[in-house]
Amino acid sequence: MRLLTHNMLSSNIKGVINGFPLRIEVEKVVEKPVDFNPDFLKNMFSKIEWKPLVDASRTMGYAELPEEADASMLDSHDFLQRFHHALLELHLEEGALFCPETNRRFPVNKGIPNMLLHEDEV
């Protein structure tokens, strides 16, 4: 699972008001190179919640993202490279996600988070 997906996912449990962002527990991180596409990054930037992305990338062991970011930084190639790496190339291979409100654990196996809910959580 990439951080792009992590930045989109929220906990879906009944009664949870703000299920975003899911806390990450890391067991194994892998890096897979992806083609660099500045257009996609510029398009995505407005939709990304920056702080959760920074926090998540730190948990995954990548601390190169600036604490704050705004649209003017998108002209910097260096910034885009870092953004690209954090968003698309870091994969959470093994670990777990936790709902911020209920602390429900969603296991991540082979890079696939298991978001299936029990009957009483729907």
Asked if 112 interacts with another protein (CB under 8 A), we say yes
Amino acid at 120: D
Sheet with strand 90-98: strands edge to edge: 23-31, 90-98, 105-109
Asked if 37 interacts with another protein (CB under 8 A), we say yes
CB 21 within 8 A of CB 98: no
CB 49 within 8 A of CB 5: no
- Piece in contact with another protein (CB under 8 A), picked from 8-16, 54-62, 63-71, 75-83: 8-16
Asked if 17 interacts with another protein (CB under 8 A), we say no
Bridge partners, 97 (sequence order)? 24, 106
Give 16's contacts (C-beta < 8 A, 6+ positions apart): 99, 101, 102
Asked if 23 interacts with another protein (CB under 8 A), we say no
Minimum separation from the CB atom of position 79 to another protein (A): 19
Asked if 104 interacts with another protein (CB under 8 A), we say no
CB 96 within 8 A of CB 25: yes
- Piece in contact with another protein (CB under 8 A), picked from 23-31, 57-65, 73-81, 113-121: 113-121
> Binding another protein by CB under 8 A: which of 29, 73, 74, 117?
117
In the structure encoding, which two tokens stand for residue 72, read together? 């003017």
Q: Enumerate binding residues for another protein (CB under 8 A).
A: 1-2, 4-5, 7-12, 19-20, 34, 37, 39-40, 43-44, 47, 49, 88, 110-117, 119, 122
